[in-house]
Structure 1
Amino acid sequence: MHTFIPLKTLSFILGPLLLYSCSSNYHLVKSNRTEYAVTKEVKADSSIIRTYQPYKLKLDSQMNVILGYSENLLEKKMTGGESVLGDFFSDAALAEARKTDPQIDFTMPSTNGGLRNDLPSGAITLANVFQLMPFENELIVFEIKGTEVQSLLDYIARTGGQPVSGLKMKIVAGKPAAVIINGQPFDQTKNYHVLTSDYIAGGADGISCFKKPVASKVLNLKIRDALISYIKETQARGEKISTKLDGRITHD
């Protein structure tokens, strides 16, 4: 069945709309789309280079500053349940955060996917640290129940190991076992102070154990700044970064 609208009614509805649409001084009459491939064949624009070159030189001079030195390559490649880079990253975050909150029991400051670049053997520059941690992630301490810690341990075991410090455990058949936190056997009836990032706390990778904490404390410390400070302080002591795998997470 068809419904017909009287012409007078249609004019009454469309009239104001047509009048409004005609009130503009501009009308789109044609639209074209063109793609420009950016390849090696595209020649550099010298005028653009001259514009940004002074800023690039200044930035390079800052980013190429040497913060310290490492005795070995700090790589993200996993061996068992840990990586040299993950161990360094977590140890640095925990050491710097404990200056503000010495009650911290352990940390998982990042997931393996959050470690973006290896750190080289030899000189470590500011640029190296920015490449490793390009994000503005903040460190936060959460006091959570032992049952929530168990959930985090289950996640670490289920994913084959994650960057941690202050924590030792075995992964047996995909489950956490022989867990030691801050030098003591894990007790699910206790509350623990856990250091992590705002990204993980927000539910990254389905982690939900920080959603309802007993308490929380924002340290006003970015992870990148913690890494920079840790490297500088090691250098100031006349030492080099010398992180080695220590079996903090193993597979049985």
Structure 2
Amino acid sequence: MQLNIKHFVIFFTLLCFSCNNQNTKITEITGRQLLINDTLKAADSIDEYLIPYKQQINKVLNQPITYNPKTLSKYEGEFNTAIGNLLADIVYEQSNPVFNKRTGKNIDFVLLNNGGIRSIISEGEVTIRTAYEVMPFENKIVVVELSGNKILEMIQHLQKPGKAQPVSRNVEIALNRDLTLNKLLINGKTVDKNKNYFVATSDYLSNGGDGMLFFKEPISTTNLDYLIRNQLIDYFKKVDTIRATIDNRFIKL
């Protein structure tokens, strides 16, 4: 009799559980917004714990590493800017030895994007913090191998007015007044449609970011595992003064 009662209890429990599961459903979800603002008081114990780390980070970031004689801004030129030229040339100088050591080949030129420059470089001391402000993203440099036809497609994208997209000094682009192409030289030579070219750019752009779809489906891609921000820091540490100017690498006649 005890066994039968035990079986009955188990059966009844399972039956109730099954019925409850079948009839259970969400009828309403409510929530409220919790504002994180100056009305919230900081925990003194946490602040005290973090202060030494914050002081050490600021000490590293505020360390002067070079000098800039003139404030540089990405808004100062139509098709090329001093800051854009500087960054593209830095990427070439820092990337090409790495790429050459790995592949035995050389980068033909560098293409970055105007939108990736997130801050000015102020006149005066340049610190490690400056590099973080200019390039706050974790973008790495990749070298993309493109056909001559893809290079011409790239130039069509760059002909659009409004943004001075940084290119390294290996390139000479001249546009007519109506923005048609007048001259295009890479390393002093006209583009050969039957030749492949190695273009250094950010991993973001190599995936078609900022509308640069010509980078998609390349012949080959080499990731240098080298952050653009780290390239800036390494370069700044090598020079005592930054030299950057608007030049004739990309102009409208």
TM-score greater than 0.5 by the shorter chain: yes
| 2:128 counterpart (126, 129, 135) | 126
Tell me which amino acid in the other structure corresponds to 1:105.
D
Per the alignment, residue 114 of structure 2 pairs with: 112
Q: Can you list the C-alpha shifts for 1:111-146, whole angstroms capped at 9, x where unaligned?
A: 111100011222110111001111111111122101
Q: Which runs of 5+ in 1 are unaligned?
A: 1-13
Tell me which amino acid in the other structure corresponds to 2:108.
D
Tell me which amino acid in the other structure corresponds to 1:147.
N
Counterpart Cα distance in 2 of 1:158 and 1:198: 22
| 83-92 vs 186-195, greater mean Cα deviation | 186-195
Normalising by structure 2, we get a TM-score of: 0.81
Counterpart Cα distance in 1 of 2:172 and 2:16: 76
Counterpart Cα distance in 1 of 2:183 and 2:65: 37
Tell me which amino acid in the other structure corresponds to 1:241.
I
Q: Can you list the C-alpha shifts for 1:61-119, whole angstroms capped at 9, x where unaligned?
A: 111111211222121114120111101110100011111235111110x2111100011
- Output aligned runs, 1:134-145, within 5 Å: 134-145=136-147
Per the alignment, residue 38 of structure 1 pairs with: 37
- Output aligned runs, 1:7-22, within 5 Å: 18-20=19-21
Counterpart Cα distance in 1 of 2:81 and 2:42: 41
Tell me which amino acid in the other structure corresponds to 1:192.
Y
Counterpart Cα distance in 1 of 2:220 and 2:203: 14
Matched, 1:202 2:207: yes
The structure with the greater share of residues assigned to helix is 2
- How many residues are treated as equivalent by the alignment? 230
Per the alignment, residue 71 of structure 1 pairs with: 69
Identical positions, percent: 28
Per the alignment, residue 152 of structure 2 pairs with: 150
Tell me which amino acid in the other structure corresponds to 2:173.
M
Per the alignment, residue 193 of structure 2 pairs with: 188
Per the alignment, residue 251 of structure 1 pairs with: 252
Q: In the superposition, relative to structure 1, how do residues 183 and 28 fare at CA in structure 2: closer, same or farther (>3 Å)?
A: same
Counterpart Cα distance in 1 of 2:29 and 2:99: 63
Q: Which runs of 5+ in 2 are unaligned?
A: 1-14, 101-105
| 14-23 vs 200-209, greater mean Cα deviation | 14-23
Counterpart Cα distance in 1 of 2:215 and 2:31: 50
Tell me which amino acid in the other structure corresponds to 2:110.
T
Normalising by structure 1, we get a TM-score of: 0.81
Per the alignment, residue 163 of structure 1 pairs with: 166
Tell me which amino acid in the other structure corresponds to 2:228.
I
Counterpart Cα distance in 2 of 1:15 and 1:147: 71
Note if contact 1:64-1:127 (Cα within 8 Å) is conserved in structure 2: yes
Counterpart Cα distance in 2 of 1:29 and 1:249: 60
